[in-house]
Chains A and B, each alone.
Chain A
Amino acid sequence: GNSVTQMEGPVTLSEEAFLTINCTYTATGYPSLFWYVQYPGEGLQLLLKATKADDKGSNKGFEATYRKETTSFHLEKGSVQVSDSAVYFCASPSGAGSYQLTFGKGTKLSVIP
C-alpha cells in the first residue's frame, strides 16, 4: 500500500510570506502525487499534480516537485495571499489497482494581512 504523511498545522503566515508544507509518501514505484485544497465550506479542489519523478506541478503560484530520492512532494508558494487561507491535503493512490486516494491529515493555512 501507500501512506501519506504531511506536516500538520495549523500554519499562520503574514501576507507575502513564503510557504512550505511538507509531504512524504511510502509507496515503492512511482505513484502519482496530488495536492488538493479545501476552502471553508467547500469540497476538495485539485491544486496540482505530478505523475513521475522530477515532475513539477504548478498552479496559482503554488509548486511541488516529485522527489523520488526523498519520497517527497512538498508544496511551496513564494508569496501567500489572504485568499490562500484553506486546508491543504497531500494525496496519492493506494490499494490494488490504485483506485483509491490516500490523504494526509491536512494542513490548515491562515494568512493574515
Chain B
Amino acid sequence: DTGVSQDPRHKITKRGQNVTFRCDPISEHNRLYWYRQTLGQGPEFLTYFQNEAQLEKSRLLSDRFSAERPKGSFSTLEIQRTEQGDSAMYLCASSFQSGSSHEQFFGPGTRLTVL
C-alpha cells in the first residue's frame, strides 16, 4: 500500500496525559499537512511542512500542540496535557509540490478520545 498511513488509528487517554501520533506520507511527496476534524465538521487545517521545514504553524490550536518532521519523511503530532476538548479525528495529508492543483492525499486518521 503506497498511500498515507497513520498510527495509531485509535487512541484513548486520560486528561492531562501526553499523546503522539505518527504520519507516513506517500514516499515521493515533499509536503505534509495536519488537520483536525471534529464530529459533524469538515477538517480544520493545523500545520504544514515542506520537506523538514515547518512553514506554517500559526493555526495550531494552542502551545500544547507541536509537530515535527525531522528528516523530511514521516511526521509526528504531539499534544501535551490533553484536555477533553482535544477529542477529535486527527488527519494527515501529503502532496507533491509541483503542479497547480494543490491536490492532497489523506490518511485514515487517528481518532483521539480524552477521558
How near does chain A come to B33, taking the closest CB pair, in angstroms? 7
Asked if A101 and B108 sit within 8 Å, CB to CB, the answer is no
Docked Cα-Cα span, A34 to B56, in Å, equals 22
B43 neighbours in A (Cβ, 8 Å): 44, 89, 101, 103
A42 in the interface (beta carbon within 8 A): yes
A29 vs chain B, min Cβ distance (A)? 12
A-side interface mostly: strand
Bin chain B's interface residue count.
20 to 34
CB of B7 to closest CB in A, whole Å: 13
Interface string of A16-54 (1 = CB under 8 A from B): 000000000000000010101000001111100101000
Whether B56 and A103, one on each chain, are in contact in the complex, defined by CB atoms closer than 8 angstroms, is no
Contacts of B102 in A (CB 8 A): 32, 93, 98-99, 101
Determine the chain B residues whose CB is within 8 A of the CB of A45 once the complex forms.
106
Interfacial residues, chain A to chain B (CB-CB below 8 A): 32, 34, 36, 42-46, 49, 51, 89, 91, 93, 95, 97-106
Return 27 A-B CB contacts under 8 Å, by A number. Answer: A32-B100, A32-B101, A32-B102, A34-B103, A42-B108, A43-B106, A43-B107, A43-B108, A44-B43, A44-B91, A44-B93, A46-B103, A51-B101, A91-B42, A93-B102, A99-B31, A99-B56, A100-B33, A100-B45, A100-B56, A101-B33, A101-B35, A101-B43, A101-B104, A103-B42, A103-B43, A105-B41
